[in-house]
A and B are shown apart, each in its own frame.
Chain A
Amino acid sequence: MVTYVARRALLIPPVVMGVVTVTFILFAALPAQYQLVAHFGSPTVKEHCGYQPSCSCATLNPTSVHGDSCTCITPPTKTTPTGICTNPVYKEYYDRLGLNRPIVEQWATYVYRSFTFQWGNVSNYSTVAQVYPELKGQPVATAIAWELPYTLELALLSLLLILIIAIPLGNASAVNRNRPIDQISRVMSFSGFALPAFLLGSLLVAGMVLLFLPHSGFLVRTPWCPHGEPLDEEFTYSIPPTSSCYAGLGFGYSYPPWVANGIHSRPTGFVAIDAVIHGDDWLAVDSVLRILLPALVIAYGTVAGLLRFVRNSMLEVMNLDFVRTARAGGVPESVVIKRHAGRNSLNVTITVLGLTFAGFLGGFPIIEDVFHLNGIGEMLAIAADPSPALDFGVIFGSTLLFTFLIVSANLIVDVLYAYLDPRVRLG
């Protein structure tokens, strides 16, 4: 076992280096100015002032554009009305990031920074900084650590739902091959492939609003929100509620007291647990209810793929000799299915599930966007908003996080696989 794990772990460094190198190639393809913003966060580092490569020193207020301080090199003349300006700070930052060094050295520093979580800073002017003012200029690693619990909560709940749905259903459809339950599960598996998450998510929200739409007034009152809030916000929006839920209590605008006014007391980061710690039990219930719907959408999409694997591996195992022997020996069918076949068909399922969960930890950009939840995916989605500026620090940071997670999940899955199946580690 130890040799197997060691042998498997030896393969990790080349893969991680390769992944970081691919990321570096993309990062280095960015113009220097974007690299500087991604790394330092504050865009005081434009090479030239203004929107055009050369600015008009006569007319432009030199400090107006993102706080650039412009120095005129060439004053405007009649023939060249646009004087050429340059920014002295630019050169300083340029050298500090090491962009004047040879590319191999840049690569080495990039790898070093990737492994030491120096993933750059959240840009001051991107949408991320507008939506999360408290993250403005913070290191990307901090921002990701801030958002990770939200995503983790959602991922864990989805995983739970998947385990509850996929494995029993897959087993049942393998056992009752070509019977109605098998057909149903196959249709479900196929529709999971064909239905995009954003479509299913919006339909679910719409359906919930229709189902529970109050007949009088626009607000629903729940035990955790006695002053009422719009119904769709109950099914979207992660905690803290953005509606008028807590407004009547006199604490800040809309937040419960322990997250009001930007003072976030989050001992664990998980909203449900924090709410319990702060004695806000209803809020804990609420926070779980809010992620139930998105978790269902995620589970539906994932179960689609998983059902196939569970069904196929179960079918394969059911035809093996030891199952036939067990049956011939008079072991009851339910025990055969549960203990002999079920347990031996778990290998493939665990592999797929492990990789799926690693993918989950990277966030769900679409789901979190549809349901207005907090999380890494949502942060990535708004970092990719081009309208003030793309936040390359966050985009590349989440890529690194994602790839590290997948690589380590691969390792864990392989080790688990070897533990479950002796043939793997010996063969």
Chain B
Amino acid sequence: MQRTWYFFRRNTLAVIGLGIILSIAGLAVYSATLPLPWTNVPIWCATDYGPANPLSNYSGNYSQICPTTGPVICTYEVSPPPNAANFCGGQWYRDIVRSNVSFPSIIAPTLSVSPFSPGPMPLGGLATSSGSRTPIYDIASSLERGSDWSLLFSVSIVGLGALLGLFLGAVAGFYGGLLDEILMRFVDIFLSIPTILFVIVVVAVLSVDLPGGANAAAWVRIVAMILGFTLVWWPFYARLVRSQVLVVREQKYVEAAVAAGSRKLRTLFRHIIPNSVYPIFIQFSLDVGTVPLLVGALVFLGFGGLLFPSIPFPEWGSISAISVADLQGDFLTSCYTPATGCVIPWWQLFFPGLALFLYAISVNLLSDGIRDALDPRLRR
């Protein structure tokens, strides 16, 4: 252990990567403790669907404080008041939020910045504009708030996928025969399903109203997204590990272990798996950086409202997706208006992009460092 740490420490880049990861993780832990950025201005939802029924004996106001958007007040005339237990996760509430809370603009630039001169970057601490239902995030605070979800998504998706793939791939490669055949057919099946499309379908299926007006809660959809990604992610790892296990199990030291009386499971877990995880490190480090981009792609395609409990959901991928969607409109209208001149709000793209890039590259450096430190053949 001490030797590993010694070799790891000698790798400067890996130490830098570790430092960046640790600071992101620290930020994530800190941001998880922050209160949610809603203001106390209530959302008034429209009256109940349909005109008032003269025979109705329902009438009144219903109010509830929802964790992501703050207080909501609805009047009801036709149907009974909403169910308090699942109001905040329900379709009705989401319709209200969708029609009342407009898409957040990521920042309000304090000065027009001409495209090529570096201008003031709005990296202040303001979270929302007061009194407005449209939250205006600045980049710094939304990146800060988003760090926990970004980390959670990428590590859980890729981690689950890698673990599942590692286990199934190792079992398939080690035992071989019919088990191998069956597992590899499953790998083929899930490899044939496109990642983003599968997640879209899973989330879409969960987003519909069930008969009776009930609806899957927001956290169910987030978990479904994570599991959906995992389900199409593990086959890559399973293939990788299996091909490695097929090589490792023929090695002399495995033979020696078996000859020394090591049982099958022990051979698998003590000798074969530890020696076939290295390719996983590379793949893992590449994938962890791409997960926020995939989530961002989902948001960019318009799944933000379906997927996440609140529309201005702070997650790095979502932030960059929202700012890109913003950018196209802002930039193009300003460029075709001669009075204003071309304004490129480059900071909208630069800082989320930088965060994602730093994250991806530091995971990569860290995993390279760990692999080099653990593998005696690479220690020089």
| A contact set with B: CB distance below 8 Å | 11, 14-15, 18-19, 22-23, 26, 29-34, 47, 50-53, 56, 58-60, 76-78, 81-82, 190-191, 193-199, 202-203, 205-206, 209-210, 213, 218, 230, 232, 359, 362, 365-366, 369-370, 380-381, 384-386, 390, 392, 395-396, 398-399, 402-403, 406-407, 410
Contacts and interface: CB of A to CB of B under 8 A. Distances in A.
Interface string B181-214: 0000110111111101110111011011111110
Contact of A202 (B189, B211, B328, B361): B328
8 contacts: A23-B201, A51-B50, A56-B53, A59-B51, A193-B286, A196-B296, A402-B193, A407-B192
Contacts, number: 180
Contacts of B324: 198-199, 202, 370
B221 to A, nearest CB: 12
Given A213-B335, A403-B193, A406-B192, A194 B360 contact: yes
A395 B200 contact: yes
Given A53-B213, A56-B50, A232-B332, A210 B57 contact: no
Contacts of B53: 56, 58-59, 76, 81-82
- Please classify how large the interface on chain B is, using the bins under 10, 10 to 19, 20 to 34, 35 or more: 35 or more
Given A199-B349, A385-B302, A31 B194 contact: no
A206 B327 contact: yes
Contact of B204 (A78, A203, A392, A407): A392
Given A199-B320, A385-B302, A206 B331 contact: yes
Contact of A369 (B190, B300, B317): B300
Contacts of A402: 193-194, 197
Contacts of B369: none
A53 B205 contact: no
Given A209-B332, A396-B201, A384 B55 contact: no
B192 A395 contact: no
A52 B213 contact: yes
Given A18-B188, A386-B305, 4 more contacts: A29-B205, A402-B194, A403-B192, A407-B192
Dominant secondary structure at the A interface: helix
B211 A19 contact: no
Interface string B315-327: 0010011001001
B104 interface: no
A312 to B, nearest CB: 11
A194 B360 CA distance: 7
A19 B200 CA distance: 16
A77, A202, A370: which has the most chain B beta carbons within 10 Å? A202
Contacts of B93: none
Contact of B50 (A11, A59, A370): A59
A142 B344 CA distance: 41
Given A76-B55, A199-B349, A11 B208 contact: no
B369 to A, nearest CB: 16
A373 to B, nearest CB: 14
A386 B302 contact: yes
Nearest to B328: A202
